[in-house]
Amino acid sequence: MRDLVIRAPDDFHVHFRSGPGLEKFVRRTAALFDRALPMPNTLPPLADAATLRAYAASVRAAAPDLDLVLSFKLLPGMDTETVRSLAGAGARVGKYYPAGATTHSSDGIREPGEIREALAAMEDAGLVLSVHGEDPAAPVLERERAFLPVVRGLLDDYPRLRIVLEHLSTREAAEFVAAGPRRLGATVTAHHLSFTTDDLAGRALNPHLYCKPVLQDAAHRAALRKAAAACERVFFGSDSAPHPRDRKESGSIPPGIYAAPVALPLLAAAFEEEDALDRLEDFASARGASFYGLPPNRSRVRLVRETWTVPDEVDGAVPAAAGSALAWTAERV
Ligand code: DOR
Ligand code: ZN
């Protein structure tokens, strides 16, 4: 197959940051995606109605045609009134970051009891709980598996709450989602479908492929590819997470992969390798909208089989696969 035209995709997990980079990052995503769910671990965090409103306005100013699914960050002790006012400001999603699990999460949750009131309010308001599913106390490659019992507990304790387990990285998490109820969904990134621990650290250490959850081995990647191709409740979220080059090349490297500039080409290559290109539209442009109860996008993008070399720097950050040749490009129709 040479070209593939699909419905414009959704990115149900993306970091636009705040401050000077925001405009470029938003526009990079809007170039190919019709809808985005910006993550709330900004500085300051999106955790009250006024901050969320101002943030949404700055994202909309950068890309007025990009549809937004707004999220807020759950903080310990958050009360019903705060959740209601966030919903009033347009939030549809509350994000659970285990304390210390990833970038800007030191103010996160130590155990779910800390947000009992907020979760009950979210359940009542029909908001979706988005979960960074890692237990920071477990060994780094075990963290996702170690957190699955917490997700099980959330499903049991809040029987009407819709939950998205973000950026699956292991076979066990994919199986957990596939075996779960209809109100449990999951995102998978293009980098977890494309790279492994060996790409990160097998030869020279590549800090630009360091993210949380950390890339796992090829057997896990194969399980993620199968889930992305076939599981009705598994959909795309890029977890595109730019950091300045000097931080990513420092002695204390923050997790985060700038994936937006290469996301669709990486997805096309991974789905092609699985002989599943006919499922790409479902994964990137249909299932997520259906999980969130949103209408499908109307415009189209074209994936073209045309080799190009990923630049060393895009929007002031180093993208995933910088310097490598990719077999697909993408453009709006
Ligand atoms: O690698 C990551 N980077 N994982 C996350 O969960 C957060 C993100 C970031 O904000 O940089
Ligand atoms: Zn993220």
Q: Does 11 qualify as catalytic in the annotation? A: no
The residue among 76, 77, 263, 95 whose CA lies nearest residue 165 is 95
CB 108 within 8 A of CB 98: yes
Residue nearest (by alpha carbon) to ligand 1 atom 3: 256
Ligand closest in space to the Cα of 238: 2
Q: Which of 16, 211, 243 is the best mutation target for the ligand 1 pocket, counting ligand atoms within 8 Å of the beta carbon and taking the most?
A: 211
Ligand number with the minimum distance to the CA of 143: 1
Catalytic residue, from 199, 239, 282, 312: name it.
239
pLDDT of residue 2: 77
User: If you measure from the C-alpha of residue 95 to the centroid of ligand 2, how many angstroms do you get, rounded to a whole number?
Assistant: 10
Over range 224-240, report the average pLDDT: 98
Q: Which residues surround ligand 2, an ion (CB under 5 A)?
A: 239
Q: Ligand 1: residues whose CB is within 6 Å?
A: 15, 41, 102-103, 132, 211-212, 239, 241, 255-256
Q: What is the pLDDT of residue 53?
A: 98
DSSP string covering 241-285: ----HHHHTSSSPPP-BB-GGGHHHHHHHHHHHTT-GGGHHIIII
Q: What is the pLDDT of residues 249-286, one digit of tens each?
A: 999 999 999 999 999 999 999 999 999 999 999 999 99
Cβ neighbour number for residue 57 with a 10 Å cutoff = 10
- What is the pTM for the complete model shown? 0.98
Q: What domains can you pick out in the chain, each with its CATH number?
A: 9-294 (3.20.20.140)
Tell me: the pLDDT tens digits for 47-101? Answer: 999 999 999 999 999 999 999 999 999 999 999 999 999 999 999 999 999 999 9
pLDDT band at 225 (very low <50, low <70, confident <90, very high): very high
Residue 190 CA to ligand 2 centre (angstroms): 13
